[in-house]
Amino acid sequence: MKSLCCAVALALPLLVGPAARAGDEAPAGQAEAAAPSPELVERWRSMSPEAREELRQRLERFQALPPETRERLEGRLQRFRGLPAEERERLLANHARWKRLGEGERALLLKRFERWQRLSEGERQRFRQELRRVKRMDPARYQRLMRKLQRWLRLPPEEREKIRQKVRERRGR
């Protein structure tokens, strides 16, 4: 979806703008829009025919989306454009890293993100505090913590749940 949004950001002004492609007609049924910037026109002209066609296809997929989805994506694009250049670069670099991940890694990260989304704000704050505390640890203590974590992760889920239950009982929960 992000690559679709990025493609639309580039393609939309180029494909519907009157001066966009000098002699290249806009897709049928497209309303005239404000002329694209000279930078976008130059970028379009520097693209291979295959890259142009891919952008056209992405634009068609975008236009086939339900209006609510298109509006949401356009809003995200507007917010992105309003960010400082350094932040946009950071986000684009993160997106490039995301695309290089394998399917399994993406699935794992999405699962973790969903878990994060379900946390209350208080739980998220506690997690951030613990993360800051771990980052300040001396290297030897950090290594001990990582070894314990690796042992924990090797335990079967049932065993981990038993340990969690014992901790809850000790804490009086």
Q: What is the pLDDT of residue 69?
A: 94
With b for 16 or more beta-carbon neighbours within 10 A and e for fewer, the 150-163 pattern comes to: eeeeeeeeeeeeee
Residue 5 and residue 55: Cα distance in Å, rounded? 11
Cα 30 from Cα 105, distance rounded (Å): 39
Q: What is the pLDDT of residues 102-134, one digit of tens each?
A: 999 999 999 999 999 999 999 999 999 999 999
Give the pLDDT confidence of 50-104 residue by residue, as tens digits: 999 999 999 999 999 999 999 999 999 999 999 999 999 999 999 999 999 999 9
Task: Reply yes or no on whether the pLDDT at 25 is more than 70.
Answer: no
